[in-house]
Amino acid sequence: MEEGGFEPVLCVKPEVHVHRIHPRATNRGYRAAEWQLDQPSWSGRLRITAKGQMAYIKLDDRTSGELCVQAAVDQFPGTAVESMTDSSRYLVIRVEDGNGQRAFIGIGFGDRGDAFDFTVASQDHFKWVKQQCEFAKQAQNPDQSPRLDLGFKEGQAIKLNIANMKKKEGAAGSPREGFLPDF
């Protein structure tokens, strides 16, 4: 990641819980019921930031604000963020250190609304990325988009029928009496 670039903050949640999870034994997905939900390994603040087409889930220390761990997300949903099969408040994220080692950790929100905000912020970012790619393609090939001709053809005319129109007094172009004040 480049230093000094602008990273907009997409979502901040002041409380998130991190859980150690066991490796998946089957392809059935992760289940929050298998975790020790009453004993999180760590609690802190979650931020989602964006830089270019990537989103970053950052877990910060609650008191000092120091970055503890971050997960790079290139698509949502995807391998970097997986939802649970039994709960909407818990997710599994893939974190990576600077040496290329990866680990999967479970994160949980105390409120469904916080989990919903997380999901919507992530989805909105990747919808924006998709739109930007489509705009770039259209800018490169502007002639491929169909042109809509709304002009009248030679000799074409339209007729307007406006029903129930009564002619108002003074509408024939003569000034109405008493319209102009006496000076």
Residues in the chain: 183
How confident is the model at residue 169, as a pLDDT? 59
The answer to whether position 145 is within a domain reads no
pLDDT (0 to 100) of residue 174: 53
Average pLDDT (131-152) is 79
Structure-token pair, residue 17: 């819980």
Q: For residue 117, tell me if it sits in a domain.
A: yes
Residue 179 lies in a domain: no
Cβ contact 58:129 at 8 Å: no
Q: Is there a domain that residue 166 lies in?
A: no
Cα separation, 82 vs 28, whole angstroms: 12
Q: Is the pLDDT of residue 3 over 70?
A: no
Q: How big, in percent rounded to 5, are the helix, strand and coil portions of the chain?
A: 20, 30, 50
Residue 121: CB atoms within 10 A of its CB come to 18
pLDDT value at 1 more than 50: no
Tell me the longest C-alpha to C-alpha distance in the chain. 96
Distance CA 107, CA 83 (A): 10
Q: Which amino acid is at 9?
A: V
Check which CATH number belongs to the domain holding 84 and give it.
Answer: 2.30.29.30
Residue 86 lies in a domain: yes
pLDDT per residue over 57-101, tens digit each? Answer: 999 998 898 998 899 998 888 888 988 888 889 999 999 877 888
Residues 6+ apart with CB under 8 A from 71: 56, 57, 80, 81, 93, 94, 95, 96
Sorting pLDDT into bands at 50, 70 and 90, what band is 168? low
- 3-state class of 3 per DSSP? coil
Q: What is the mean pLDDT of residues 163-173?
A: 62
Number of domains in the chain: 1
Query: Is residue 179 very low, low, confident or very high in pLDDT (cuts 50, 70, 90)?
Result: low
Judge contact between 11 and 117, C-beta under 8 A: yes
Cα separation, 180 vs 183, whole angstroms: 9
Instruction: Provide the pLDDT for residue 170.
Output: 55
Q: What is the pTM of this model?
A: 0.70
37-48, pLDDT tens digit by residue? 888 989 999 999
In this structure, is residue 178 part of a structural domain?
no
pLDDT at 164: 75
Taking residues 16-33, report their average pLDDT.
83
Provide the domain limits for residue 68.
9-139
Q: Are 108 and 17 in contact (CB under 8 A)?
A: yes
Kindly report, residue by residue over 99-115, the tens digit of the pLDDT: 888 889 999 998 999 99
Summarize the confidence of residues 28-38 as an average pLDDT.
Answer: 83
Which of 132-146 are b and which e, b meaning 16 or more Cβ less than 10 Å from the residue's Cβ?
A: eeeeeeeeeeeeeee
